[in-house]
Each structure stands twice: as C-alpha cells, then as structure tokens.
Structure 1
Amino acid sequence: MSEKLRYQLLRLARKTWSRCALFSLFALMAVASSALIGPYIPESVAIKLGSDSIGSLLGILASSMLTVAIFSASTMVGSFSAVSNSATPRASQLLIEDSTVQNTLAAFIGTFLYSVIALIGLHAHLYGDGGRLVLFGFTLVILVLVVVVLLRWIDYLSVLGRLGETIRRVEAATMAAMAQRLQKPFLGGQPQPPGAQGSHAVRAPATGFVQHISMDILQARAEALGTTLHLHVLPGAFVEPSVVLASCDVDLTVEEQQAIADAVLIGAGRTFDHDPRFGMVVMGEIAARAMSASVNDPGTALDVIAAAVRTLIFWVDTGRQTAAQQDAAVEFDRVTAPRLREAGLLEDVWTPLVRYGAPAVEVGMALQRALASLRRLDHPGFNAEVEDLSRYALEKASHSNLIDREMAMLRRESAACGSSNSSGSNAEGTGYNHQHAATHASSQ
C-alpha cells in the first residue's frame, strides 16, 4: 500500500460520517445475526420472551437515542463555534477529528439504527423464541455500551471546547508532528545539498497547501528514470502553478511530470499531520486573539508561551535523542529533501506574541524569560533567532508607551538572551524578517 493511499485512508477514518457508518454496520450485523443464530438455539434453552416486552425496550432505546444523538450533534456544533471564536478556526480541526466525539455520536446513531431495524424485524415476525433470545442478549450488551458511552460523554463535556483544552490539543498535535518529522528529518530521503536544482522542473498543478508527500512514489519514478529527484517543498508549503515541486536532470514527458506531481497532495488548507510548523502557527493565532483589544486576556497568552516552550524543548530534546539513528534512516535513496527551517518554528509562534503583546509588560517579561530558556538550550538552529526575537520584542515594546521602569524590567530579562539592551535599535539591527508569514513556501 502506497503512502498516499494510507494517508487518504487515515483522513477518511477521521471523518465523522465514516465512524457513524461503521457503527451502523455493526448494528445491522447484530440484528441480522439474531435471525440467523436463533434457529440453532434449542427450545429448551430459549427463554420465552414476548415480542411486546422486547419491543418496549427497543422502543425506549430508539426514542432516547434519537434525542441524545441530536443533542450531541448540536453540542458538537456549539463546541466547534466556541473554539473558533475563543481560540482560532484552525484549532477547530482538532475537535472535529476528535475520536471521542466521533465515537460517541457514532454509538448513539448506531444504537438508534439497531433499535429501529430490530423493531421492524419483530413486527414482521422474523424471530422465533431463539431469535428473540439472541436479540435480547444483543440489546443488553448495547444498553451497557450506551450507558458507558453516555457517562464518558457527560464527563467529556466539561472540557469540550474549553480554551485551555484547545491549547493542550494543539500542543499534543504539534508534538506528534514533530516526533514524526524527527524520525524522518528528510521524509525518509537523502539530505538535500544547498542549491540542489535539476535542469528539468515539475511545477505545482494546483494552488493550495502541500498536505502530504508520498516519497515511495517519488522513489519509484526516480528509479524508473534512472536519476535523482530533488524535492523542493515540504508539507505546509503554499504552492501555485509557478512553484517548482521537484526537479531532476533528465527530460520528462507530460505523463512523467503528472506522475511526479501526483505524489504531492495539495489541499485547500494546512493540516497538523506531517507539518510541525502549523501547530506553532495555531499557537501564535491563539495568543494573538487573546491579546487583541476586544479580548485582552494576558493569561491565555501566558499559557500559550508555556505550551510553546514545552513544545520547542521537546523538539530539541527529541532531536538530540534520535540524532544517532537518523544517519542510517534513509529509506528513499534517490530522492533528496530539504531540512525543515528550525528558525521558522520560533517565528510562527513568537511573532504574533511580540506584535500584540508588546503593550502588556507581564506578557513581554514572560516572553523574554521563555526566549532565555530556549537560549539556554544552546541549539544551533534556535540561537540566532532567539536573540533576534528578543531584540525585536524590545524594539516593539519601546514603541508601545511603556514607562522607563517597565522598559528597564524588560531589558533585564532580555539580557539573558544575549540581546542588546538598547531601546533605540533600528529595524536593521533586529535581524528579523517581518514578512515571514507571506512566504510559506520559501520558509519551509
């Protein structure tokens, strides 16, 4: 099975309707098996149950599950809206794909469908004494399952859509994407030499974001062509028809270009899968909304700072632990891929915090302390960017009407990052690219 097909099946499994359909299929199989197994049960074992008594139980299940399913669906929609309004619309993607939410709704819909079909079978006299016994057993099992799911769902509603829970989910999803990338820093291919560029290019067939790259397809095409393919984009990059996806040194037919382009899945939006930087972008958006004039919630910004520091420390520590294994982790030797630009991980989350948190001295101090923590990691991919961001934060704060005492406090905290304490540093002295958000493709 190709990587592309596995990824598409994974995305399909995260759809709510797919889980509902699966639970409904189990319900249909339970009803059908009652009619099939029933005749094989001896009459001496089968308990004489009147269809009316089973029908009453199934009727209660059908009516209650319909109500609960509608309530759960409305709760889900309300939670999606709450996350979009309090955090960012990008974070609602995690809630939509939450397995607990989907399994709960699927269990309620599947139980409703089971009850309705079982009632139809009873009224059609499809079951004898043995069939009603089997049906009664299935009904008891499903009833216990519903009670367990309902109790878990009630407890889950206490955190569903909460801002703190949303930040935790974004942090967990980002760490998962980071761990995946650190295991394959070049997506399983060879490290790409600086400036590697083939004489023949394959350009993007559509406009959107790279969501997944099937390295096995690229490897197969490279072997068939007898060349090395240079991949020029990573998951999360924004592409349009002028952007080069890959290149090589042999002439390519239209069919071969199409085959190579098909290995790069392009969608309308970014996803957390395979894209560590997207999680950092979402954290930055949450902090920016929290520090907007209409919300003015410094506490949420502080929570995001703590989550960002944990996530970036995880990136550094995990990277150091897996460094010895990465040298031999080349699965696709005919494909080269660029390395993720680590400074971008910092830019994505800290820039919104600096821009919108400058007027709040408590946020500025927490940001400087966080940058100092990252500087103490002494990670080559972070050091220069940490110092630039610290200077940028000082410069931004100096234009935010803070009093001298507050600026002095910020300078003291900034000194731990090795940045200049001068409040009059110019834009060139910051060494910071303020236009990074508009260059997704190149920053990857």
Structure 2
Amino acid sequence: MDDDTPDSIAPQVRRLKQRALGDRLRESLLFLPLLLLAGGVLAEEVAHVVDRHHRIGWLGLFTMAPDAAVTLLSTIAGATITTAGVVFSLLVVSLQLASGQFSPRVLRTFWRDRMGQVLIGLLLAAFAFCVLALSQIDTSAEQAPTLTMTFAIGLALASILAIVGFLNRITRQQYVGRIMERIQLEATDLIKDLPYGSQVGHRCGEPVAAPEPDDAGVPLIVRSPADGWVQQVSYRAVLASVPPGSTVRLETRVGSYLIRDEPLARIWPAPDAATGRRAARQIGEAIIIGATRTMQQDIDFALRQLNDIGLRALSPAVNDPTTAVEVILRVTSIMRPLLHADLPAQAQRDDDGRTLLTPWDLDHAEYVRHAYGQIRLYAGAHPQVALTLVRTLRMLRDVTAELADREAAVAELDRQLAATIDDARRAGLPDAELAPLTGAAGRRQE
C-alpha cells in the first residue's frame, strides 16, 4: 500500500478532478467542435503559407482558376453552415424524444456521442477554412492556391461522410435496446474494477470490524461545502486527511445528494482547531460534488436509469411491457456479476491506525432492492413482465446461494420473489395467470 501521508493527498485529488473534468468535456457539445474549429483555422493558415512559397505539382488535379475557386469556396461555406444548423436541430429533436419516451437521465448517452461532436466540428472547421480562404484568393493570379483548395475539398468530402455516418448512428441510437446496452456496459466496466481499482477507488487499509465512537469528546463534524450529487470519492485521500490514530466516518456515499452544510464526515477524537480545518478542507477536496449523477463511480446510477426506462414503459401512457421485460433482463446482466463481486469493506484501517468508516455504502442486498424493488410494484398487472421478473430473481437466488457471505442478498432476493407474487395478486391477476408465476418462483411465497 502506498504511503498515505498528507503529501499523497494532492495527486489523488488531482486525479479525481481530472476525471471529473474529462467526464464533463466528454459530454460537452462545445469542446470537441471548438477544437476542430481551431484546427480548421490553423490548417488554413498553414495551407496559405505553403501555397505562397511553394507550388505542389502532384496536386494538379485540384488546380483551378481563381473565379472558380471563389465560387466553390462560397458554396462549401454556405452549405456547411446550413448543414450545421440542421444537425443541431436533429440533436435537439433526438434529445426531446429520448427524454419524453425513455428518461431525462439517459440524455447523457446522446451528449457523449463522439460522432455528433465530430460532425459539428467538421462542419464548423470547413466553414471557417473556406471563409478565411476566400480572403486569401487573389483573383488576378493565374490559378487558385492548390493546397488550400485541396484542403477545402477534403473537408467538404469528410463532412459528407460524417453526415452519412451520423444519420446512420442517430437512427440506431434511438432504439431503446442500444440505449440500455450502453448503460449496462458502463456499469459492467465499473463492476470489473471491484472491489478496488482505478475507477471505484484504491484500497486504503485492511478490513476491520466497525468500531463505536469513543467517549473522548464530541467528534469534529465536517460539513458539505455545496449542494449537489456525490460523483466521486477518494477514500484514500479522505483517510490520509486525518491525524494518525483517528477514525473518520463518511456520512454520504457516491450517488447520494448533499445539501450545503449537512454533515459530510465525522472525525474522532476531535483534532485541534488548525488540524481540524486542514482535515475538513482536504476531505472536501477528496469528494467531488456536481449538478448531476454520473457513471464515474456510481453503479447504482445505471440501475436508476434502467428502472426509469422500465417504469416509463409500464405507464398507462406508453404501455410497452416488451421494453419493461428487456429492462429486467438488462438489470439482471448487471446484477449477476455485481452479486459475484466483492464490495469494498465498510471499515478499513491503515498502518498508522487511521480508520475509515463508510456505513452508507450500498451492500449486495441494497443493490438487489434498488434493482428490482420499484419496477416490481408496477409489474404485477403485466403477466409477462412479472413472469420474467420471477424467473430472473429465481435464477439470481440460485446462483447467489452458492456464494459465501451472501446470506443477506439471498434473503432479499427471496423477499422480492414473494413480493412479486403478492403484487400480482393485488393487481387482480386470475389464478390461471398466477400459476406460472408461483411455479417459476418455486412456491416460496406459500
């Protein structure tokens, strides 16, 4: 284990901030297009300098008169800026459809699409290149600058290809199965990193039994510096922030919402004033708070997104039980590896006697409850959805029972099974529809 001194806090916090910035930039519809726009401006300047000092003979195919070059550049500039407006309109329509039909929380999968960002950037780069090139054309010359015209035609062709790729991609992205697949794959990547890894957090000590606060005095309470969702936490940086021999208990977890000035952490025994202020500042830096939930460390957010899609599908306005069935299957594709994976210990102690408590972190049973508890309430009136839910719960129950230290998860799966049958009865399903459910459940509810 690396040395967890105060000097080691800075690089860990820096990594968190870099990941948070990278995640925001990846979802930005402005960052990559601006980079490509700047690249188009730079390319035009380079082409102008080369054309002024050299004549490239092997580009003779693109040799043309200045008047023809002006017409071509004007046409490309007008077409690209018009197409950019159309692309923005398509993106807005896609976001509206996805938000209304599935869930507002799945919009992030559209924001993160590189194809759309590259297309917008190419169109802006082509527009800027052609506009700047128009100012460089000497209509009294024998011919237009060859390299400049080559770049302009190349950008136009690349934009056309990007438009075709974007149209193909955006039509496929609207398919609900693709949306759920992307959410599932993001969650699976985090699960592969459990219990400790570069994404979910490095090991910061040995697992220990959670100690009780001693009676040495009132603990120091570290309060939330802002309102927002907890996106990332560096447990190692939190633990390294307190003096040796201290115990720090986080009063939040990744994926929870914080209100400014509510308790964020408690430290005991309480350090002196100067040390306490430094520890509070460092703990605040080790917890990244943002305006929205993200998938940087939050496996539970994937379950939330999929459940939102399933609940929307089961609503009377949509009435799409087939989508709800696929939601249950996708959720189970997340839950099976998650139930097999070991979760980070909720009490860890390092070599300097510092103890970190994270009692609000989700355990396996809570993940089961979050995965199936809400959609189960609305599945009872739909026999095929309820049957799919019963079969997946039974399968998970059987494979989880073979694992050690999963008794709580097995008990929660049994409870969800029994509750599914009860919900179907309350929904008024006849005995003919209840029989397959009770049979698939193994009649545990009787």
Secondary structure, counterpart of 2:307 in structure 1: helix
Aligned to 1:203: 223
TM-score, normalised relative to structure 1? 0.82
1:234 to 253, 261, 266: 253
CA displacement 1:261-285 (0-9 Å, x = unmatched): 1221222321122100011011111
Q: Does 1:391 align with 2:418?
A: yes
State the match for 2:22 in structure 1: 10
**Counterparts of residues 8-407 of structure 1 (less than 5 Å):** 8-14=20-26, 15-42=28-55, 49-122=64-137, 132-184=145-197, 187-190=202-205, 191=207, 193-195=209-211, 199-215=219-235, 217-218=237-238, 221-222=241-242, 229-240=248-259, 241-245=261-265, 247-251=267-271, 252-316=275-339, 319=341, 336=356, 338=358, 340-378=362-400, 379=403, 380=406, 382-407=409-434
Shift of 1:411: 1.3
Give the secondary-structure state (helix, strand or coil) at the position aligned to 1:159.
Answer: helix
What is the CA deviation profile of residues 354-387 of structure 1, one whole-angstrom value per residue up to 9, with x for unaligned ones?
1111111111111000101111222416312111
Matched residue, 2:440: 413
Whether the aligned pair in 1 keeps the contact of 2:201 and 2:235 (CA below 8 Å) is no
Question: Are residues 102 and 58 of structure 1, via their aligned partners in 2, closer, same or farther at CA, if it must alter by over 3 Å?
Answer: same
Letter in 2 for 1:204: S
Residue matched to 1:326 = none
Letter of the 1:269 counterpart: T
- Report how many aligned residue pairs link the two structures: 408
CA shift in 2, pair 1:120/1:354, >3 Å: same
Secondary structure at the residue paired with 1:210?
Answer: strand
Q: CA RMSD in A?
A: 3.1
Q: Which moved more, 1:393-402 or 1:45-54?
A: 45-54
Deviation at 1:248, TM superposition (A): 4.8
Cα distance change, pair 359–334 in 1 and its aligned pair in 2 (3 A): same
Give the corresponding residue for 1:327. Answer: none
Offset, 1:179: 2.9
- SS of the residue 1:212 aligns to: strand
Amino acid at match of 1:420: Q
Q: Work out the CA distance in 2 between the residues paired with 1:349 and 1:229.
A: 30
Amino acid at match of 1:396: D
Length-normalised TM-score, structure 2: 0.82
2:40–2:125 CA contact under 8 A, matched in 1: yes
Structure 1: 5+ residue stretches without partners: 324-329, 422-444
3-state SS of 2:267 partner: strand
CA 1:348–1:43: 2 relative to 1, 3 Å: closer
Distance 2:203 2:422 in 1: 41
Change in Cα spacing, 1:216 to 1:382, as seen in structure 2 (3 Å) is closer
Distance verdict in 2 for CA 1:49–1:193, change over 3 Å? farther
One-letter amino acid of the counterpart of residue 24, structure 1: L
Q: Please list the CA deviations of residues 338-363 of structure 1 after superposition, one character each: whole Å capped at 9, or x if unmatched.
A: 35422222222312221111111111
Residue identity over aligned pairs, in percent, reads 19
